[in-house]
Amino acid sequence: MKIKRFLAGSMREAIRMVREEQGPDAVILSNRRVGGGVEVVAATDYDESLMRAAARREERKAEQSAVSAAQRSAPDAADDGAAQRVLHAAPSPQAATADGALTLPPPAIQQLRSELGGMRRMLEQQMAGLIWRDLSERQPERMAALRAMTDLGLDAGLAREIVDALPHNVDAERARFLPLGLLSRRLPVAKHDLILEGGIIALLGPTGVGKTTTIAKLAARFAARHGTRDLALVTTDHYRVGAQEQLFTYGRLLGAPVQTAANASELREVLARLADRKLVLIDTAGTAARDQKLAAQFAELKAARRPIRNWLVLSATTQAADQEDILRRFAAAQPQACVLTKLDEATRIGSALSAVIRHRLTVCYLCDGQRVPEDLQQARADQLVLRAMQLARQAPATIHDSTLALQFGALHAGA
């Protein structure tokens, strides 16, 4: 093991020095504050040293076990020679190769790997904690902004990007409000009331996000401006029980015709009959992101040979990992916009905002209730950020420094 001491002005600088001189596999053994900076002791070849030490321990245990077994099996306990013969005859769990290297049996290697992995994770956590504390002392305004962005529910990468965009000498007051403005600028929202432009629009999305109700709201919004003469509804959902009946009910209430299409050829025929309608809304079957029928649904819409615009319906209550999976799998349909639903049921909307920002998916409308058409609003970036703030204030999250250290200490260590 090669050990070296480093002196630096900050923990981040010390880590950079360690990486440059000892490489990415170096391990910090200790650190302490000194006059004007920090002192760090780091080592390389740490895993190899642990492996050799553990191997020696295993060898000693094996020898002791062999001696005990020999003593129990010897006919005369005083016969040292018999004990020695049994000891030398007992198979050793380790074997030396031709070059003298020690080879451990598979169970011992697996145990050592597990122990070393645990030690590495522990050291990485300690390093992240040290970096977080160092940043908190040197840049308290930025760290407060990181905490606020995390409380909104944003993912760690986006929160860091926003805080990194703050001016270098930002004061506490600006650090409270400027990140919200930066978040608002990043949100992709439609600049126009897109539904009023008409066209053929298909709503896609997983089961339970509220596609059928959203179609009714969009249809009612269009009808309030243009009437129902130029409006028609189509359903391709022939899987879910009662799906077509629900859309027919909305159609009767709105005074708009509702057509059904069970496959691509029927969809082509239906759209041909509705060619004189200014707006045609297609309600597709709710499909799980991993469902094999998803590709068939995309192919059906494409085979209609019409200029169909696909809008993705996303629930604000969906967890971040599931949100990412949905967006990745529905990307094959090339959605041009999305509608965020169930804002009235969400406790945090940061994961949804992070997802649309990361995938650059334009948000056109927001749904925050079941009423038709009252609970549908055109999306605005400032209103979304305000909603995120209100939710965070209603139910403040308890965010421990250890959690922030793992999220942001590790991110800054890799910078």
Amino acid at 407: Q
Please provide residue 279's backbone torsions phi and psi, each rounded to the nearest 5 degrees: -130, 125
Mean pLDDT lowest for which of 95-99, 230-234, 326-330?
Answer: 95-99
Listed in sequence order, the DSSP H helices in 331-377 are 350-359
Amino acid at 28: I
Residue 364 to residue 354: CA distance in whole angstroms: 16
Mean pLDDT lowest for which of 97-101, 383-387, 399-403?
Answer: 97-101
Mean pLDDT lowest for which of 55-59, 113-117, 163-167, 185-189?
Answer: 55-59
Residue 284 to residue 378: CA distance in whole angstroms: 22
Whose CA is closest to 316, among 387, 373, 382? 387
- Residue 59 in this model has a pLDDT that exceeds 60: no
State mean pLDDT over 401-415: 48
Please check whether residue 173 is in contact with residue 202, taking contact to mean a CB–CB distance below 8 angstroms: no
- Residue 411 in this model has a pLDDT that exceeds 60: no
State mean pLDDT over 168-192: 88
- Residue 92 in this model has a pLDDT that exceeds 90: no
Within 60-100, strands assigned E span 95-96
Please provide residue 410's backbone torsions phi and psi, each rounded to the nearest 5 degrees: -65, -35
The pLDDT value recorded for residue 334 is 92
pTM for the structure as a whole: 0.65
- Residue 321 in this model has a pLDDT that exceeds 80: yes
Three-state SS string over 2-61 comes to EEEEEEECCHHHHHHHHHHHHCCCCEEEEEEEECCEEEEEEEECHHHHHHHHHHHHHHHH
Residue 146 to residue 162: CA distance in whole angstroms: 9
Listed in sequence order, the DSSP H helices in 139-261 are 140-151, 156-164, 172-186, 211-226, 243-254
State mean pLDDT over 373-395: 91
Question: Taking all residues of the chain, what is their mean pLDDT, rounded to a whole number?
Answer: 77
Task: Report the 10 Å Cβ neighbour count for 49.
Answer: 13
Residue 26 to residue 47: CA distance in whole angstroms: 10
Q: Reduced to 3 states, what is the DSSP secondary structure of residue 329?
A: helix
Mean pLDDT lowest for which of 26-35, 170-179, 214-223?
Answer: 26-35
Residue 89 to residue 64: CA distance in whole angstroms: 14
Residue 229 to residue 207: CA distance in whole angstroms: 30
Q: Who contacts 307 (Cβ-Cβ below 8 Å, separation ≥6)?
A: 199, 200
Q: Reduced to 3 states, what is the DSSP secondary structure of residue 255?
A: coil
Amino acid at 19: R
Q: Reduced to 3 states, what is the DSSP secondary structure of residue 366?
A: strand
User: Checking DSSP bridges between strand 95-96 and strand 102-103, what pairing results, if any?
Assistant: antiparallel
Please check whether residue 215 is in contact with residue 281, taking contact to mean a CB–CB distance below 8 angstroms: yes
Please return the burial class of 77, using the count of CB atoms within 10 Å of its CB with bins 0-12, 13-18 and 19+: exposed
Three-state SS string over 270-309 comes to HHHHCCCCCEEEEECCCCCCCCCHHHHHHHHHHHCCCCEE
Joined tokens for residue 387? 């909603």
Amino acid at 347: T
Residue 217 to residue 42: CA distance in whole angstroms: 62
CA angle 123, 128, 129 (to 5 degrees): 95
Per-residue pLDDT of 136-162, as tens digits, reads 555 677 778 888 888 888 888 898 889
Confidence of residue 214 (pLDDT cuts 50, 70, 90): very high
Per-residue pLDDT of 96-146, as tens digits, reads 444 444 455 566 666 666 766 666 666 655 555 555 565 555 567 777 888
Whose CA is closest to 272, among 310, 234, 311? 234
